[in-house]
């Protein structure tokens, strides 16, 4: 079953990413990619209310810098083709986020309430989830 395979892969990728640690994740190349966008598109990686939230630019051609997270992003078959250019993860599971024209952000679990940055969207998602596991999208 593809879903189980993907879950296993996600778990493995998350473990790798965790082992590699923050220093590896926020590699110089990734930071440079972040700075090439205006404003809020820098990577982040923190534990918020007991859950690991991560964000990074996506589709910038700088994938190698964050191999573990790239693995996660690539596995789902989802492409950030609608121009978000940024991927957010909660405990290693990708959270669908979207940038509004005014630069604010929303996510699929807090869709009608824009916040200023992808990190704020990730934190709002953790608040909304109340400890529940995020499901890989698309949900079905």
Partner 1 sequence: MTVRKNQASLTADEKRRFVAAVIELKRSGRYDDFVRTHNAFIMSDTDDSERTGHRSPSFLPWHRRFLLDFEQALQSVDSSVALPYWDWSADRTVRAALWAPDFLGGTGRSSDGRVTDGPFAAAGGNWPVNVRVDGRTYLRRSLGTSVRELPSRAEVDSVLSMATYDMAPWNSASDGFRNHLEGWRGVNLHNRVHVWVGGQMATGVSPNDPVFWLHHAFIDKLWARWQRRHPEAAYVPGGGTPDVVDLDETMKPWNDVRPADLLDHTRFYTFDTLEA
The footprint of partner 1 (CB under 8 A) covers 81-84, 96, 98-102, 108-114, 128-130, 132-135, 137-140
Indicate the residue among 64 and 113 with the shorter CB distance to partner 1.
Answer: 113
Indicate the residue among 28 and 82 with the shorter CB distance to partner 1.
Answer: 82
Give the sign of the dihedral formed by CA 77, CA 62, CA 122, CA 108. negative
Q: Which helix (H) or strand (E) holds 115?
A: strand 110-115
* Strands 105-107, 97-99: pairing kind: antiparallel
Per the CB < 8 A criterion, the answer to whether 115 and 73 are in contact is no
Indicate the residue among 64 and 127 with the shorter CB distance to partner 1.
Answer: 127
Closest CA to 135 of 97, 104, 90: 90
Closest approach, Cβ 41 to partner 1, in A, equals 15
Indicate the residue among 54 and 107 with the shorter CB distance to partner 1.
Answer: 107
How far apart, in whole angstroms, are the C-alpha atoms of residue 93 and residue 31?
22
Closest approach, Cβ 26 to partner 1, in A, equals 27
């Amino acid at each position: 079953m593809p879903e189980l395979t993907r879950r296993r892969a996600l778990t493995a990728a998350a473990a790798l990413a965790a082992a590699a640690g923050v220093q590896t994740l926020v590699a110089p190349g990734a930071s440079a990619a972040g700075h090439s966008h205006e404003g809020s598109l820098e990577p982040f990686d923190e534990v918020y209310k007991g859950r690991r939230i991560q964000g990074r630019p996506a589709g910038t051609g700088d994938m190698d810098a964050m191999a573990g997270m790239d693995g996660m992003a690539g596995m789902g078959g989802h492409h950030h083709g609608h121009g978000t250019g940024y991927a957010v993860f909660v405990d290693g599971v990708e959270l669908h986020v979207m940038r509004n024209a005014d630069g604010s952000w929303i996510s699929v679990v807090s869709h009608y309430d824009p916040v200023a940055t992808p990190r704020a969207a990730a934190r709002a998602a953790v608040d909304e989830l109340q400890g529940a596991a995020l499901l890989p999208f698309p949900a079905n």
